[in-house]
Chains A and B, each alone.
Chain A
Amino acid sequence: MKIEDLKNMIEENLRGIDVEITTREPNIIDVKVSRDKIIEVAEKLKGKGFDHVKSVTAVDYPGERFEVIYIVSSYESPLSYFLVSLRTSLPYDDPRMSSLLSVWPSVLYQEHEEHDLMGIEFEGNPRMGERLLLPESYEGIPPLRKEFKVKVEGIDA
């Protein structure tokens, strides 16, 4: 199975939803979708055999937007060679989106971590509001955001 026929298969599978599909490198397909359509796209991808999420990444573009990237793949070949990066962008002042827990249970801890460290709200994920990696008593800017500054030392003593 080559990357083009996978791309066509996904395009055909997601007909009717305004989605932007590009291919990158030998085995990565980016699927860009708006946040209210993401569950629908996720269910369709799962139908095609993409059965688990390897990583949930939230990227902070200050003042502009948050981008949440789900790297999805399958355990069975031939799909296991390919990675589909399902991405959506959230407005900077309202970082909320619906959780994909109902589609892929493997996102439970990853979404919880992005909520804890980046402050993204995943509606439907039972762990919202709880801390995962940060101490329970932590208040303040989520540390992974760009506005949270880390002390940096120069090379001089």
Chain B
Amino acid sequence: MSLEERTLELLIGPQHPASGHMRLVAKIDGDIVVELRPNIGYVHRSVEKLAEVKKFLQIIPLVERPSLADTTANNLAYVMALEKLLGIDPPERAKYLRTLLAEINRIHSHLYGLGIHGVMIGSSTAYMWCFGDREPFLELAQELTGARLTYSYIIPGGVRRDLPKGFAERAEKAIKYLEGRMKDYFDIYFNNPVVKARLEGVGVLSKEDAIKLGVTGPNLRASGVAYDVRRAEPYAAYPHLDFDVITEEEGDCYARVMVRVREIMESIKIIRQVLKEIPEGPILHESYEKLIPPKLREEMKQRGVVKFPSVFANLRVPAGEAISRVEGGRGEVVFHVISDGKLSPYRMRMVTPSFRNVILFEHLTRGARVADIPAIYGSLDYFPPEADR
């Protein structure tokens, strides 16, 4: 019986408990995956086309929506591209606040990825624990920005809210809680022999393949490539902060999970530094601050809530091109904004980490078992809307 007759074509998704908004077309021979092609595009909204009909400031909520669990990275990358075109640099305090929100977002984005991966290999406890322990960080973000996930916190020239009083103490409590829980996570899930059996040696990505396929984020670093945009091209407050780039060597599902867990610990270290070293000062660039009527400016300082200058409604960005990149939770976000001096960008290219990691589905599942498909899918922390945009 030739290979064609033996193989069964299995359509995993988009209506499937563990496929997300995409379809995996898997050709399987018995329990072995012969070939798997991801079929994406189910939640494609063409953010790049919409951006060409929206004004510059209106694009901020638009670019955040695709990667809902990690919105700060897209928001920050887009605004950094605008600031390069506008030729302005945000005040120091605003840079520290951007870093603070980016790291809080990284922690609960990693917890989101770990939780989804947990339920994909069967551990509903890992899922419930991770999603439960995300809550304190969503509360922190809600207190700082006013929203739980869709912050739109970063605007050209600075940020929209100042640090509430007593935020550092509450943040310290949330961090101590997560640190205290880590031992139980390791006992019940990460060191669980069944988890190790399901993840170790599964979906191995060699260092050469990781580089050849151009993947990014924890999936890249788990194969031994020490590339992190926060070190390669430091932005916001990262030049002044001391942190390590987390890497593992094996490049299998377990290594990817371990990179995310250790990155949570690293983000905790960063948050503590930011909250300790954050300088005083304005949180909006003075060229915009002086456009605000004095009475509102006083109130702004006193309430810590930034008022937009009316020019923001029709922000005009000088003609030119800007490329910016940011290390999001799932990997490197690259923005390429081309402006022709009008109210809307001429062309905005947004490359998200999941779109660069989608090639791994084909590569890692060749020869794997059917039960390895969800294990590999979850370990990539892949988010379909982020890949489709």
Contacts and interface: CB of A to CB of B under 8 A. Distances in A.
Do A and B come into direct contact in the complex, CB within 8 Å?
yes
Interface of A: 24-25, 27-28, 51-55, 57, 59-60, 69, 71, 75-77, 80-81, 83, 85, 104-110, 113, 117, 131-135, 143-144, 148, 150, 152
Interface of B: 40-41, 44, 46, 48-50, 52-53, 84, 211-215, 220, 225, 227, 232-233, 321-323, 325, 332, 334, 336, 338, 346-347, 349, 351, 355-356, 358-359, 388
Q: Is the interface of A mostly helix, strand, loop or mixed?
A: mixed
A-B pairs with lowest CB-CB distance, top 5: A106-B214, A52-B214, A133-B41, A80-B232, A57-B349
A51 B351 contact: no
B40 A105 contact: no
B212 A77 contact: no
B336 A55 contact: yes
B332 A54 contact: yes
Given A131-B41, A150-B50, A59 B338 contact: yes
Given A106-B212, A132-B40, A144-B49, A27 B233 contact: yes
B225 A133 contact: no
B233 A57 contact: no
Q: Is the interface of B mostly helix, strand, loop or mixed?
A: mixed
A144 B48 contact: yes
B211 A51 contact: yes
A54 B359 contact: no
A106 B213 contact: yes
Contacts of B347: 57, 59-60
B173 to A, nearest CB: 37
Contacts of A150: 49-50, 52-53
23 contacts: A24-B321, A25-B322, A52-B213, A53-B214, A54-B334, A59-B346, A60-B347, A71-B334, A81-B233, A106-B213, A106-B356, A109-B355, A109-B356, A109-B358, A117-B48, A133-B40, A133-B388, A134-B44, A135-B41, A144-B49, A150-B50, A150-B52, A152-B53
